[in-house]
Copies of this chain bind each other. A is one copy, B any other.
Amino acid sequence: MEGLQKQFVVGVDIGGQTSKIGLVDARGDVLFQNVIRTDIYGEDADAYIKDLAEAIKACVEQGGKQLEEVRGVGVGAPNGNYYTGEIAFAPNIVWAANHAVPFSKLLSEALDGMPVSLTNDANAAAVGEMAYGAARGMKNFIMITLGTGVGSGIVIDGKVVYGSDGFAGELGHTCVERKNGRPCGCGKTGCLEAYCSAMGIARTAREWLEATDEPSSLRDLDNISSKDIFDAAKAGDAMALRLFEYTGTILGRSFADFVAFSAPEAIVLFGGLARAKEFLYEPMKRAMEDNLLKIWKGKVQIVFSQLKESDAAILGASALAWEL
């Protein structure tokens, strides 16, 4: 099939439970999607990668294209390292939890030498927003992903910051509480992620419910999720509303510190918890403005992802592949 132009890319978004695969064209349209499980392979990374390669081939074929038309595969994964191509010590991915998997190399081999580019999920989301979403035209912004954890992707002068080792942009693990801070999954205490992730806000709810006897619809639930708090806030539950006020305030204060680092045009928010925009925006914005230096007051936007959540991660990962 010589002479075929490589007009398509594949984006892969690896999550703890599922891996989403998309065939994407140059305009950012997802032509076909596919999904496999991430969590049924135990520690066998090779078995996962073999199935992923098959699913990629199937996705391309079912999208009506040939593998020869695909320029490369871009992958976003927790702890994915852009420089080394490894997924290493990713707590939520069993086959990469305890060691480093040379992911890009193995996947490329399983795809007959197809180029593979890897980064972490938040960086992929940042690339996606820059290429197709809320950050189009921006050269300097900070992507914050509010999901199970808090991730970040920092863009300066149009490029994702990878730092000296490929791991730059772990803003979820900057400190928001020095004294008696909550333990974080990372082993430290007081991290932003321990307060402002979907897990964090649910934990704040449990703490408040235990510490008071304030009536709240949340009291009736066995296992509170951030979605429950969102629903309760929409129904007017006073504690749920204060939970967003509290969480948004912590986020906004942290954003002000992030601005002092790279002077971005905007903070771009993405992820499950960011859906609660109507309750988070006001306290975030207020706390950020209160804590900005004068030179930045009124100048830094807080914007929300404009990409469909199911597409964003795939699009971001796929955008990496255009650089291959």
Contacts and interface: CB of A to CB of B under 8 A. Distances in A.
Contacts of A169: 260-261, 263
Given A186-B293, A291-B188, A257 B161 contact: no
Interface string A147-170: 000000010110101111111111
Nearest to A254: B175
A89 B89 CA distance: 47
Main secondary structure of the interface of A (DSSP, over half): loop
Contact of A293 (B139, B163, B188): B188
Contact of A263 (B168, B291, B299): B168
B260 A170 contact: yes
B261 A171 contact: yes
B186 A294 contact: yes
Contact of A174 (B163, B186, B257): B257
A285 interface: no
B265 A164 contact: yes
A57 B293 CA distance: 37
A257 to B, nearest CB: 4
A71 interface: no
Given A291-B175, A293-B170, A165 B257 contact: no
A140 B257 CA distance: 20
Nearest to A140: B164
A298 interface: no
3 nearest A-B residue pairs (beta carbon): A163-B263, A168-B263, A140-B164
Interface of A: 89, 139-140, 154, 156-157, 159, 161-171, 173-176, 178, 186-188, 253, 256-258, 260-265, 291, 293-296, 299
